[in-house]
Amino acid sequence: MTMPELFILRHGQTEWNAAGRLQGGYDSPLTALGHQQARAQQAILAACDLEGFQVLSSPLGRALETAKIALPGQKIHRRHALREIGIGAWAGALVSDLPQDARGNPSADGDLALYRSAPGGEGLGALFTRCQRFLQEIDRPSVLVTHGITSRMLRAILLGRGGDDLTDLDGGQGVVFKIKDQVQTKLVFGA
């Protein structure tokens, strides 16, 4: 897939992230660390030439709040396709309260198997389709502000991979992923 240059951000840490609670389509405010992570993303992006870039964000509050901090003064366009994967009945649940057999290999964002097996959830196949359709509509350089699992799926597609195994892709709070010509570069403040 030939794409214009993209920068992909995950929202900063939220109160529910810190508590180990699954969010999906629910929302909780950024923590002090989440604000710090968004400011780190702002510093990273300030060093990039974003002339001609559009800013597209998930409509969920945690992503919009991050976008406003990381990209001050920019017009932010909300895109439903950038929302987090739906997790059905497990939205709002503490990970520690879920059945042990629902969990797989832990990653930086917790057990990815949870997103495959959530009762009434969207599932990784549907997320793959949603993200692929969204990417086909992008016709200019863009900054995308999204969520941990959705960010991984977008990057998996952009890197020419399938959407079945996302465990080796970083979720990325406080960093920016640059994707150009099917190459991913992780940009870190102060690095």
Beta bridge partners of residue 57, listed in sequence order: 78, 145
- CA angle at residue 161 from 20 to 175, to 5 degrees? 45
Which among 65, 84, 122, 147 is annotated as catalytic? 84
Which among 11, 65, 122, 147 is annotated as catalytic? 11
> What's the distance, CA 54 to chain centroid?
17
Distances (CA, A) of 137 to 4, 20, 65: 11, 34, 24
Catalytic: 147? no
Phi/psi zone of residue 157: left (φ > 0), alpha (ψ -120 to 50 degrees), beta?
A: alpha
Catalytic: 80? no
Could you list the active site residues?
Answer: 11, 84
